[in-house]
Amino acid sequence: MNLILTLIRMNRRDTVIHVKMDRTETQARISIYGHAMQAPYGNDIVCAGISTLFTGVANYLSHATADLHPNESIVTAVDLDAGDERLLSMFRETVAEIAMAYPNNVELWTWSDGDGRQE
C-alpha cells in the first residue's frame, strides 16, 4: 500500500508546474519546474499560460538575469523599483488565479525573508 501511495504522489509531482517565488527587500527570485500535463504536449493551456507569464517577467524586470535549463527556469532580479514590484505582484496574482482554476496542475509557493507559505 505504501508503495502505491508513493507512486501516486510521485506521479502527481510530475504533473504539476511548481512556481516558487523568493523575496527579500532587495531581491526577487522566481523558479518554475515541472509539467502541468493538463492536455497533450502542444495543447496545454496551463503550461502555455505559466510559460508566457514567466517569459514576460524575465524580459521586463529591471536588473534581472535568467538561468534557463530544460527542467527548471529561474529569473533573479535585484535593485527592485516600483515597476518591478507591480510586475512581480501581477505575476504572483495571475499564477495564483491559474492555480485556483487548475489546482491539480499548478502549485505556487512564496517566501518573503525566509517565511514560506503555499498559495
% residues pLDDT > 70 (the chain): 77
CATH number reported for the structural domain that contains residue 33 in this entry: 3.30.70.1490
**Residue 68 near residue 54 (C-beta atoms within 8 A):** no
Higher pLDDT: 11 or 32? It is 32
Q: Indicate if the pLDDT at residue 119 is higher than 70.
A: no
Coil, strand or helix: which one is 69?
coil
Cα–Cα nearest to 20, from 76, 68, 86: 76
Phi, psi (rounded to 5 degrees) for 27? -145, 150
pLDDT of residue 11: 41
Structurally, the chain folds into a number of domains equal to: 1
What letter represents residue 43's amino acid? N
Coil, strand or helix: which one is 68?
strand
Residue 83 CA, chain-centre distance (Å), reads: 20
Mean pLDDT score, 63-81: 91
For the segment 84-106, what is each residue's pLDDT rounded down to a tens digit?
999 999 999 999 999 999 888 88
Q: In terms of residue numbers, what domain contains 82? A: 2-118
Mean pLDDT score, 53-78: 92
**Residue 38 near residue 51 (C-beta atoms within 8 A):** no
For the segment 31-62, what is each residue's pLDDT rounded down to a tens digit?
998 877 676 677 778 888 998 999 999 999 99
Cα–Cα nearest to 17, from 102, 90, 76: 102
